[in-house]
Amino acid sequence: MISKTSESVLIVSSSQTKPPYVLYSQRFYVLLIFSFLSFNQCLIWLTFAPIARSTEAYYKISEATVDLLLNWGPIIFIPCLPLTYILLNKHHGLRRCIVLLSITDFIATLVRIIPIIITTPSSPNFSRISLIFLHVGQILNATCGPLVMAPVSQLSCLWFAPHERTRATTIAVFASNFGWSIGFVISPFIVSSCDYIPYLLYVHLGLAFIACVLALLFFPSQPPSAPSAAAELLIHYSLNEHIYLYTLTVTTGGNEHNNNSWKKFVNDIWQCLTTPSFVLILIAGGLLPGTSGAWTSLYDVILKPENYTEQQAGWFSFGSSIAGIIGGLFLSFLADRRRFQHSLKTLIVITYIGCLFAIIWFELSVQSFFFDKPILPSNAATIGLSTALVGLFSGAGFPLIFEALAEIMFPLPESLSASILVEWTNVITLILLFIAPNRYKLMNILVLIVTMVCILIIALARFTYTRRDEDERKRLEKEQNQILNEDSLNPYNKCITNESQYGTFS
C-alpha cells in the first residue's frame, strides 16, 4: 500500500482525512520568542565585559569586581540547571520556564537601574549602593542561563517536524551566541564614555520589557497535537509525570513529591552516564566548546605581542562568533536533508577536523610555547580569516551534538541530554577561566590537544538514530492505517506528496 522513493511518501489526499502528524504555524512564533529571550539573557550577562574600563570609572570598582559580574554566569548556572530540568518536565513545563525566564530577566534589568534612580554618581555612597544592586541583577540574570540552554532540543522536538528539528535547535542554541556577539559591538558603541552607561542599562531594560510582554501575552505550552512520534511521547511523558505527582500528593500529603522528582532526575542521569556512546559524545561535545571558548577570550593577550589592539581582538572575536552562527545554520540545513539525516557523526568529524586545521594556521601565525617568533607571515586579514574559520567549524558542530545526544537517549526527554551537555561545558569553561589568565601559551597547546582528542573520541563513538527511526516508523504506520481505512470507503483516493509539504523552513 505504500510507494516510497528517496524524497516522497504515500499519503491520503482527502478533505476528510488529516495527515498523521500536523504542524502549526505557531511554531515559528514560539521559536522567535524563545530566541529573543535567549538573545536578551546573553546580552544582559555580557553587559560590563566589553566596557570594563568605563564600568570601573563610573562605579569606581576594580577590574576583579567587573570580572566577577561576568563570572556569576557559569557560577550560578551549575547549581540552577537541575532545578530547570525538573521544572521543564512538569506538565506545561516549557511555558513555565519561559514565563519564569521573561519575568526574572526583566526584574534583573530593573534592579540594575535602581541606583541610578535613587542616587547620583557624585554621591559618596554611589559605588557601595550600586555594587549591591549590580550583583543582584547579574545573579538573577545568571539563574536564567539554564532556562535558555536546557530547553533548546526539547523545544525543537515538541514543535517541529523531524526534518526541521536540527535547524530549530541550531537557531535556539545560537540565539544566545548572537547576543554575545552583538554585546561586544553595541555596548562600546553606546558607551562612548562612562557617563553613557545608564543609556545601555535602559536599552537592556526596554528589550527585557518587550520580550516579557510578548511571552506573557501568548506562549502556548505545547502544540494542539504532536508533530511527530517523539513529540507525542514527550507530551505524554510530562502529562504522566503530572498525573503521577498529583496522585502522590493526594495520597501522601505532598511529602514525597519533591523526593520523587529528584530521585527520577538522578536515575535518568545515571542511565545517561552508563551509556558508553552518550559519554563519549558528551566528553567531546562539551570539551571542545568549553576549551575553545576560554581560549578565544584570550585573543587580546595572544595577539598583543603581534601589535594588535584590544579593539582589533574584539572584532576578531565578533567575526569568529558570527562565523560560528553561519556555519551552524548551514550545517543544520544539511543535516535536516533526508540524505544526511543519519550522518551526524560524519558531519561532526568534518567540522572538528576543519577546526583543528584553522587553529594550527592561527597558532603558526603568532608566538607559541615552542617558537618565540611566528612561523607563518600574517596580517589583520589572515588573522581575521583564521579566527573566523575556527569559529565557523567549532560553532557548526555544536548544535549537532545536542541532536546526537537526544537521538541516543531517546525516549528520555531531550532536555536531559541537553542539560548534561551544557552543565559539562560550563564546568570546563569555569575551570579554564581560572587557569587561562597569564597562561595563553599553555592554552594554545591545550586547545590543540583537546581538538585532536575530541576528533578521536567522536570517531570511536557509536551513533544511533533511535528517535528518527521511531518517528519514521510511527509516521508510516499511521499513514498506512489511514490509507487502509480510506480504501474501505474509496479505494481510488490516493496521491503522492513530497516530504517538504509536511512543514519546512524553506
Considering the domain architecture, whether residues 333 and 446 belong to the same structural domain is answered as yes
Considering the domain architecture, whether residues 199 and 285 belong to the same structural domain is answered as no
Q: From residue 477, how far is each of 3, 296, 447, 503 by CA, in Å?
A: 13, 49, 47, 19
* Local structure of 227: helix, strand or coil: coil
- By residue range, what is the domain housing residue 453? 275-464
Considering the domain architecture, whether residues 210 and 315 belong to the same structural domain is answered as no
β-bridge partners, 11: 495
For the segment 67-84, the average pLDDT, to the nearest whole number, is 85
- Does residue 270 form part of some domain? no
- Does residue 140 form part of some domain? yes
Measured distance CA(239)–CA(449) in Å, rounded: 45
Which triple of cell numbers denotes residue 69?
Answer: 559580574
Q: Which residue has the higher pLDDT, 3 or 383?
A: 383
Considering the domain architecture, whether residues 302 and 400 belong to the same structural domain is answered as yes
Considering the domain architecture, whether residues 161 and 80 belong to the same structural domain is answered as yes
Measured distance CA(213)–CA(436) in Å, rounded: 40
Least confident of 111-120, 198-207, 238-247, 361-370: 238-247
Those residues with Cβ within 8 angstroms of residue 103's Cβ, 6 or more apart along the chain or in another chain: 212, 216
- Does residue 188 form part of some domain? yes
Q: Which residue has the higher pLDDT, 4 or 398?
A: 398
Measured distance CA(277)–CA(378) in Å, rounded: 41
DSSP-assigned letter for residue 323:
H
- Does residue 54 form part of some domain? yes
Query: How much is the pLDDT for 347?
Result: 93
Query: How much is the pLDDT for 250?
Result: 41
Which triple of cell numbers denotes residue 277?
Answer: 556512546
Considering the domain architecture, whether residues 307 and 218 belong to the same structural domain is answered as no
CATH number at residue 454: 1.20.1250.20
- Does residue 492 form part of some domain? no
Q: How many domains does the chain have?
A: 2
Considering the domain architecture, whether residues 214 and 295 belong to the same structural domain is answered as no
- Does residue 494 form part of some domain? no
Query: What are the tens digits of pLDDT across the range 312-324?
Result: 887 888 888 899 9
Query: How much is the pLDDT for 12?
Result: 39
Q: How many CB atoms lie within 10 A of CB 153?
A: 29
Which triple of cell numbers denotes residue 204?
Answer: 537592556
Query: What are the tens digits of pLDDT across the range 322-378?
Result: 999 999 899 988 888 888 888 889 999 999 999 999 999 998 888 776 677 878 887
Considering the domain architecture, whether residues 185 and 315 belong to the same structural domain is answered as no
- Does residue 291 form part of some domain? yes
Angle, to 10 degrees, between the axis of helix 52-59 and the axis of helix 126-143? Answer: 140
Whether the Cβ atoms of residue 399 and residue 169 lie closer than 8 Å to each other: yes
Among residues of the chain, what percentage have pLDDT more than 70?
A: 85
- Does residue 375 form part of some domain? yes
* Local structure of 8: helix, strand or coil: strand
Considering the domain architecture, whether residues 324 and 451 belong to the same structural domain is answered as yes
- pTM for the predicted model, two decimal places: 0.81
